[in-house]
Amino acid sequence: MQTTRRAFILSASAIGAFAALPGSAFAQGTARKSLDILILGGTGFIGPHEINYAKARGHNVTMFNRGKTAPDMFPDVEALIGDRDDQLGALKGRDWDAVIDNSGFYPRHAHLSAELLHGHVDQYMFVSSISAYSDDLSVDDDEFSAAYAVMDDPTDESDSPYGRTYGARKALCEQEVTKVFGDRAINIRPGIITGTGDPTERLRHWLKRMVAGNEILVPGDEDLPVQYIDAADMTGWMVRLLEDGNGSGPYNAVGAEEPYRARPLLEGIRDATGSKSTLTWIDWEWLRKEQPDIGGYAPWYGLGPIPFMQVNNDRALATGLTFRPIEETAKDMIAKWDENSDPLLGQGGLDLETEAALLKKWHAEKG
Ligand SMILES: NC(=O)c1ccc[n+]([C@@H]2O[C@H](COP(=O)([O-])OP(=O)(O)OC[C@H]3O[C@@H](n4cnc5c(N)ncnc54)[C@H](OP(=O)(O)O)[C@@H]3O)[C@@H](O)[C@H]2O)c1
C-alpha cells in the first residue's frame, strides 16, 4: 500500500484535531466548505445514508447508478445513469471534489472508474470490506499489518458481487484505486453494517423476535464478540473525513469502541425496546446434532474466524468515528422497517417453527 505510517500519523493528528471537538455537536452542523460529491451507487443500503448526511452538511451530491434500484428515491439529486462495466460515459467531462465508490466489486470496474476520474476528483473513497483480509487476520492486526485475501485468477469475474471471491476482489479493487490515486485514495473497510435500511437479517433477525415477544434461541457463546456499525454513524464519519481532506489509506470501519458481547448486547436491546422476550442460549454442538443443516446464524455466521468480530478500529476512532448506542439503532430500525417485509428473508437464522421445535426439545432434555 502506498500510504506510509508517517502519512497516517500526520493525517490522523490533523483530523483528530477536529474530532476532539464535541463529536456529535460538530457533526450535526453544516460543513465549513460545500463539496461536490459523486456517489457511485447511491440508492442501495448505505448510499442513501451518505446522500442524506452529505446534503444535511450542505454538500452538492451527484449519483451514478444503472437506474435499476429505487430510481425514484432522490428526485432532487442529480442522477447519472450508466454501468460500472465500462458504461461510464455519463461521468466524462465532469469534475467533483470527491467520489464515494459504493458499487465497486470487480477490480476491472474499479480500475476503469479510477482512471476516468483521475484529475477530475481530488479524493477517491472506495468502500471495501474487512473481508478483504485473509483468514489469518489476528486480533493484534491493524490496517497495515493484516494480509490481503487472494484469489487464484484476479481477472476472474465469474462470481456474483457478494460471492465466494468477494473479499479478494475487494482487496484488488483497493489496490487498483490506490495505484491511480496514491495517497488521495481512501479505503473504507466496514464489518457488519446495520441500521435503517439494512436489507439483511443480521440484527433484524433478533429484533423481529423481540418485537413479537418470542422466546429466542441464541446459539453459541454468551461472551461472543460482535461488531455492528450503524450505517448512519459510518457514513457521517466518511463524509466528515472527505470534508477534512486529510484522509488517506485504509480504515477499518467497525463498531463500537470495543466489540459488543453477545449476551449483554441482546439483553440490552431487549430491555431498551421493552420486549418481553426470553433468550435461551444453546450450544452449537447440540444444535448441529439436532439440525445438521443449520449452517450459520444471524449475525453469528459466516464472517469467518472470531478475529473478524474483533477488528481494530483505532485509526477510524482517531479520525472522528463515533457511535450511537446500539439500542438507538435497534429502536430506529423497529420504527422504520417495512412491516410487510418477510422477517426470514436474508442470511442466517432458523424459521420460527423449527426454532420453536428446537427450543421445546432443549427444555425437555435440559429442564
Ligand atoms: N452491508 C454490509 O454489511 C457491508 C459490509 C462491508 C462492506 N460493504 C460494502 O458496502 C458497499 C455498499 O453496500 P450497499 O449494501 O449499500 O450496496 P447495495 O445496496 O448493493 O447498493 C448498490 C448501489 O450501487 C448501484 N449499482 C450496483 N451495481 C451497479 C453497476 N454495475 N453499475 C452502476 N451502479 C451499480 C445500485 O443501483 P442500480 O441497481 O440502480 O445500479 C445501488 O445504488 C458495497 O461495496 C459493499 O461491499 C457492505
pLDDT score recorded for residue 292: 86
Q: Is residue 131 over pLDDT 50? A: yes
pTM of the predicted protein model: 0.91
pLDDT band at 296 (very low <50, low <70, confident <90, very high): low
Nearest residue to 108 (alpha-carbon basis) of 147, 56, 157 = 157
Q: Is residue 27 over pLDDT 60? A: no
CA 44 to ligand 1 center in whole angstroms: 6
Q: Under a CB-based contact definition with an 8 Å cutoff, are residues 282 and 218 in contact?
A: yes
363 vs 357: CA distance, rounded Å: 10
Helix (H) or strand (E) run with residue 178 in it = helix 166-181
pLDDT score recorded for residue 352: 84
CA 288 to ligand 1 center in whole angstroms: 33
CA 189 to ligand 1 center in whole angstroms: 14
pLDDT band at 118 (very low <50, low <70, confident <90, very high): very high
CA 104 to ligand 1 center in whole angstroms: 8
Cβ-defined contacts of 145-150 (< 8 Å, 24+):
148/175
ω into residue 110 within 30 of 0, thus cis? no
pLDDT band at 345 (very low <50, low <70, confident <90, very high): very low
CA 26 to ligand 1 center in whole angstroms: 28
pLDDT band at 3 (very low <50, low <70, confident <90, very high): very low
pLDDT score recorded for residue 28: 65
Q: Which of 200-214, 217-231, 286-300 has the lowest mean pLDDT?
A: 286-300
pLDDT score recorded for residue 300: 65
Beta bridge partners of 100: 39, 125
pLDDT band at 18 (very low <50, low <70, confident <90, very high): very low
pLDDT band at 351 (very low <50, low <70, confident <90, very high): confident
pLDDT tens-digit series, residues 88-97:
999 999 999 9
CA 1 to ligand 1 center in whole angstroms: 24
Q: Which residue has the higher pLDDT, 56 or 24?
A: 56
Residue whose entry in the numeric block shows the C-alpha cell 451514478 = 64
Residues in contact with ligand 1 (CB, 6 Å cut-off) = 41-47, 65-69, 83-85, 102-103, 127, 129, 190, 192-193
From 61, 66, 84, 200, the mutation candidate for ligand 1 (largest count of ligand atoms within 8 A of CB) is 66
Query: How many C-beta atoms lie closer than 10 Å to residue 324's C-beta?
Result: 16
CA 105 to ligand 1 center in whole angstroms: 9
Round the average pLDDT of the chain to a whole number and report it.
Answer: 89
pLDDT tens-digit series, residues 233-256:
999 999 999 999 999 999 999 999
Helix (H) or strand (E) run with residue 99 in it = strand 96-101
CA distances from 323 to 125, 133, 205 (A): 21, 24, 21
Instruction: Kindly report the protein residue whose alpha carbon is nearest to atom 28 of ligand 1.
Output: 103
pLDDT score recorded for residue 8: 30
Q: Which residue has the higher pLDDT, 1 or 314?
A: 314
Q: Is residue 128 over pLDDT 60? A: yes
CA 252 to ligand 1 center in whole angstroms: 18
Amino acid letter, 99: V
List phi, psi (to 5°) of 193. -95, 135
pLDDT score recorded for residue 21: 33
Residue whose entry in the numeric block shows the C-alpha cell 482512471 = 115
Amino acid letter, 134: S
Q: Please compute the mean of the pLDDT values over residues 1-14 and round it to a whole number.
A: 31
Instruction: Kindly report the protein residue whose alpha carbon is nearest to atom 22 of ligand 1.
Output: 44
From 38, 39, 40, 46, the mutation candidate for ligand 1 (largest count of ligand atoms within 8 A of CB) is 46
Q: Which of 27-41, 47-61, 183-197, 286-300 has the lowest mean pLDDT?
A: 286-300
Q: Are strands 228-230 and 216-219 parallel, antiparallel or unpaired?
A: unpaired
Instruction: Kindly report the protein residue whose alpha carbon is nearest to atom 34 of ligand 1.
Output: 65
Instruction: Kindly report the protein residue whose alpha carbon is nearest to atom 1 of ligand 1.
Output: 193
pLDDT band at 298 (very low <50, low <70, confident <90, very high): low
